[in-house]
Amino acid sequence: MKLINAKILGSDFKFFKGGIEISDDKKIVNVCENLAYSDDELVVDCDGFTIVPGFIDIHIHGSVGRDTCDGTRESLSEMAEYLLSNGITSFCPTTMTVDVDTIKNALAVAKDCMDNPPDGAAILGVNMEGPFISPAKKGAQNEKFVIKPDIDLFKSLQKEYDGIVKLVDIAPEEDENMKFVCEAKELATLSIAHTSTDYDTAKASFDAGITHATHLFNAMTGFNHREPGVVGAVFEDERVYAELICDGKHVHPSVVKTVFNLMGDRICVISDALMLSGMPEGTEGELGKLPVRIREGRCELEDGTIAGSISNLHEELINLVSWGIPLEKAVKAMTINPARQVGCDDIVGSIEKGKRADLVILDDDLNIVGVYH
């Protein structure tokens, strides 16, 4: 198959007019300005449309009434189909702060879905958000299941499930002598999260091996001119990438723009979506065994605490562009940047020869008119 006459976001994340050749096994064979083709080939004329890499959500708990911690193939399958319909071609199903047996079951099912993929978006690995967090900054996590960072437990999980965890969260102030960080950094990308730590400890944790920050600004110490906190430490450390929820509920658009200007290519746009994503106002559900509901366009616990989002990356792309973020920068933050953080940038994340043909076709209003995967 050949897609021709398209406005393509190339591997350098600059636009050009050209074509893409896709093999029968759904790999990109060629990307160039003048793609030759013959009358007997399957050719799709994409004149007037824009082709970008498939979106990658590395932090998503659930959607359409399903959750990663359900621990069923059916749940991940339905999530995968919903995500693909919204241009998300790859994702990391994300666990919560729940009991260890529930986490194990979720990992086992995710591994089965990687070994025997269902229809829909592909699973790149698992994001393990909790249970190694601070009770003081638990946010919408269930304090009942919070435990101290346990490197032996994490090693056993990675061994039993073939290293399926690509991201693991940790509150560094809970990690005595940075033992967990120093050893776990060899097994997965480490993310500072749900933490009340100060600037100095955050910086020390980055020196020890943390290279990622979960949902920047949310459930962490903020940025102040005298107490820069975790946010300030992330801002200045070029080794650290940061997630941003761009649903307009978790972080103000003005702050999102400031972060894009400051951090550039170190941003990973995520949804942090819950099982209520894709569901109507008033719907009730569960997050980490805590009841949640959709109220006034956002997901909340019973006490009104904002939980994860009910958004998806395509909706957030539209938000970002409407807030003044250039399309190519917004797309980069939800494709190659997250792919790098979970070690999958060699197969997905950009439109490049040899990579998977994960493509989203957009019209001038950023509506999705086609998805290839």
How far is C-alpha 307 from the geometric centre of its chain's CA atoms?
16
Environment class of 280 (CB within 10 Å of its CB; exposed 0-12, middle 13-18, buried 19+): exposed
Question: Residue 91: helix, strand or coil by DSSP?
Answer: strand
Report CA-CA distances (Å) from 165 to 27, 67, 94, 128, 226. Answer: 25, 17, 9, 7, 36
DSSP summary character for residue 145: G
Task: Given the residues 67, 169, 247, 272, select the one marked as catalytic.
Answer: 272
Q: Give Rg (Cα) of the chain.
A: 20
Catalytic residue status for 272: yes
Looking up tokens 């978790």 gives 250
Euclidean distance between CA atoms 270 and 243, whole angstroms: 6
Q: Which two tokens stand for residue 164?
A: 């399926």
**Paired tokens of 309:** 């989002």
Instruction: Output phi, psi for 117, to 5 deg.
Output: -60, 130
d(CA 367, CA 117): 27
The catalytic site residues sit at 272
